[in-house]
A and B are shown apart, each in its own frame.
Chain A
Amino acid sequence: MPQRSARPLSPHLQIYRPQLTSVLSFAHRVTGISLGIFAVALVAYLLAAAAGPQPYALAQALARSWLGHVVLLGGIFCYFLHLCGGIRHLFWDTGRGLELRAIYASGWTVVIASTVLTVSTWVVSSMVAR
Chain B
Amino acid sequence: MRSPLGRVRGLGSAKEGVESWWLERVTAVALVPLTLWFAAWFISLSHSDYTTFIAWLKAPLAALLMVLLLIALFVHLALGLQQVIEDYVHSGAKIPALIAARFACLSLGIAGILATLRIVFRN
Residues in A whose Cβ lies below 8 Å from that of B43: 121, 124-125, 128
Q: Is B89 an interface residue (CB 8 A)?
A: no
Q: A46-B116, A64-B46, A90-B28 are in contact. Are A121 and B39 (CB under 8 A)?
A: yes
- Distance in angstroms from A86 CB to nearest chain B CB is 5
Q: Is B62 an interface residue (CB 8 A)?
A: no
- Residues facing B in A39-95 (CB within 8 A) are 39-40, 42-43, 46-47, 49-50, 53, 56-57, 60, 63-64, 76, 79, 83, 86-87, 89-90, 93
Main secondary structure of the interface of B (DSSP, over half): helix
Main secondary structure of the interface of A (DSSP, over half): helix
Stretch from A14-22, A28-36, A108-116 at the B interface:
A28-36
- Distance in angstroms from A118 CB to nearest chain B CB is 11
Check if A53 sits within 8 Å of B115, measured CB to CB: no
Check if B108 sits within 8 Å of A79, measured CB to CB: no
Give the size of the chain A interface in residues (CB under 8 angstroms): 32
Q: In the complex the two chains form, what is the Cα distance from A121 to B115 in whole Å? A: 28
Q: In the complex the two chains form, what is the Cα distance from A42 to B29 in whole Å? A: 20
Interchain residue pairs with CB less than 8 A apart (20): A32-B80, A32-B84, A33-B81, A33-B84, A35-B77, A36-B77, A36-B80, A39-B77, A42-B70, A43-B108, A43-B109, A43-B111, A49-B115, A53-B50, A56-B53, A79-B35, A79-B39, A86-B32, A121-B39, A128-B46
